[in-house]
Amino acid sequence: MRCLICGSGSLEERYTAVRDHFGVVPGEFRFLGCNACGSLSLDPVPAAESIATLYPREYTFRAADTSEPAIRRLLRAIEWRLFYRPQYHGRLRTIRRLTGLGAGRALEVGSGSGLFLRLLVEAGFEGRGLDISREDVAYARERLGLAVTEGDLATAASLDARYDLVLMFYVLEHVPDPVELVRSACALLAPGGWLVAAVPVIDSLQSRLFGARWSQVTEAPRHITLPSRAGLVRMLAAAGFTDVRWGAMPLLDNAGVIVMSLLPGAATPQAYGRGATLAPLVRRFAAGLLLPPALLAAFAERLPLGPGPGMTMVCARKRPSP
């Protein structure tokens, strides 16, 4: 076993007996910590062909569906207005500030239900999405009218396009070979194009405070790595990127993760997944009440002396042609 982020063989046990906080995958999992870059890697790494079975059917948030009971429709509408939509606008502002891009050809890898991709298109980007979930791809295409392809980056290579922007929101930590993912993203970019990734980073205040109970750890075995900032810089440089820049993900993103760490079982798959009962919806409502204090904690995490926010945006530029 080697560190999945930097390739070092110097690893030691970091978290053991980790359980899936969504209760989807039974058993216990363990993470090894890298002595060279500080990143965590899941041991053993799930086999590529089993990855799809680790996910609940509804993993990313969708907007209200008219076929649902009124109470769930109402909750979805409230969440969209107060939680997701402002986050997505915040993400777009940070992308523009860090890369200077106002428009261009964009590929979102792991576009999920497509709600962020739709915002990107509305903002003037020529946007395409890519996702391995057949249900999400169908939703994004049929309900939102977006250009989304089912598949991974190997599929994208056949799309034969050069992008100004490749986006990966919470994707890197889910794949067994993040180095290969970043290299493939680089190959799809035009020279001087930007990779923008959102990732949970292990060197953050929330990671230190929650330890093995951090919701980004208990997202095992869907989370296969939890990179450090130093590990990300090494990986991006090795893949052909330069000019690494950091941004914080919106306070709401970070606050949401803090709440999930305090109140496991309050996340989207339990609350809205098919066959969901009332209890998870009540937990989801309680989670909403915890959001204001979590926002304060997320704000504190950004103060200059701390290690930085848990949910981080990292951007890097493909080397321009000589």
In whole angstroms, give the CA distance from residue 11 to residue 8.
8
Residue 149 binds Zn ion (CB under 5 A): no
Contacts (CB under 5 A) with Zn ion, residues 39-98:
39
Between the two ends of the chain, the Cα-to-Cα distance in Å is 37
| Least separation in angstroms between CB 236 and Zn ion | 13
Residue whose CB is less far from Zn ion, 34 or 75: 34
The runs of H, that is alpha helices, within 80-139 are 85-99, 115-122, 134-138
Strand positions, DSSP E, the chain? 11-18, 29-34, 40-43, 104-109, 125-131, 148-150, 163-169, 189-200, 225-226, 241-248, 311-318
142's CB contacts (< 8 A; 6+ apart) are: none
297: helix, strand or coil: helix
| Least separation in angstroms between CB 246 and Zn ion | 19
Q: Which region, judged by CB under 5 A, interacts with Zn ion, from 35-43, 69-77, 153-161, 260-268?
A: 35-43
| Least separation in angstroms between CB 8 and Zn ion | 5
| Least separation in angstroms between CB 182 and Zn ion | 14
Residue 34 binds Zn ion (CB under 5 A): yes
Applying CB under 5 A, among 14, 21, 31, 36 the residue interacting with Zn ion is 36
Residue count at the site for Zn ion (CB under 5 A)?
8
Residue 6 binds Zn ion (CB under 5 A): yes
User: How crowded is residue 70: how many other Cβ atoms within 10 Å of its Cβ?
Assistant: 8
Tokens of 106: 């964009």
Q: Which region, judged by CB under 5 A, interacts with Zn ion, from 33-41, 116-124, 186-194, 290-298?
A: 33-41
Residue whose CB is less far from Zn ion, 220 or 226: 226
Consecutive H or E run containing 281: helix 278-301
Contact footprint for Zn ion (CB under 5 A): 3, 5-6, 8, 34, 36-37, 39
